[in-house]
Amino acid sequence: MSSPAQASSQAIRALLRKLGKLYDIKRGLKPFSDNKDIYVLLRYFDDSCCYCGKNLLNCEWDKDHLIPMNKDSVGLHSWGNIVPSCKECNGKRQKKDWVLFLKEITGMKSEVFNQRKIKIDTYVSQYNYSLSVTLELAILTNQLQIEVSEIVSKLINDKMQEAIDLFDKYL
Ligand SMILES: [Zn+2]
């Protein structure tokens, strides 16, 4: 990934983190705390990866987002969207729709699929995570991406020009 693109995806993630806190507050919740609330999250999901069911105690795991945190999906870092995932599942899933991914992971075992899907659906509705704002938000995040890319590209070009002047002077 080139650096302007990297900078804009970082800016988008920063925005979605901040918006996640705001969205939590708007829903009357205490903003999700990456330190304390992972235990609440783990407890709800029975200390397991929400996709494959692997026990996560005593191993490293990731906070995954059901709706991915990127400019197009616009998932927020907030209650109802953050789920515990083992490293393998998080690596494999990428931007894939979580229901499709869950289907893949559980294979032919539809009973396991249904159980886990209900568990996740209940989590989402319990925190009232609503998707209705994402289209409008996607306009904002797409704008942010373009603006950050433009600014970073311009800054890099400016500095390149200054460096070229230095080169001319000393080399
Ligand atoms: Zn897993």
Taking Cα atoms as reference points, which of 113, 43, 119, 125 lies closest to residue 79? 125
Residue 49 alpha carbon to ligand 1 centre in Å: 5
Q: Which residues have beta carbons under 5 A from ligand 1 (an ion)?
A: 49, 51-52, 54, 86, 89
Neighbours of 109 (CB within 10 A): 11
Query: Left, alpha or beta for 2 (phi > 0: left; psi -120 to 50: alpha)?
Result: beta
- Indicate the domain borders of the chain: 3-170
Residue 64 alpha carbon to ligand 1 centre in Å: 11
Question: Could you tell me whether strands 61-65 and 82-86 are parallel, antiparallel, or unpaired per DSSP bridges?
Answer: antiparallel
Q: Within the chain, which residues score under 70 in pLDDT?
A: 1-2, 131-133
Predicted TM-score (pTM) of the model is 0.87
Taking Cα atoms as reference points, which of 17, 63, 71, 65 lies closest to residue 41? 63
Look up residue 157 and give its two tokens. 């070009």
Residue 47 alpha carbon to ligand 1 centre in Å: 11
Could you read off the pLDDT of 118-138 as tens digits, one per residue? 999 999 999 999 866 678 889
Residue 29 alpha carbon to ligand 1 centre in Å: 27
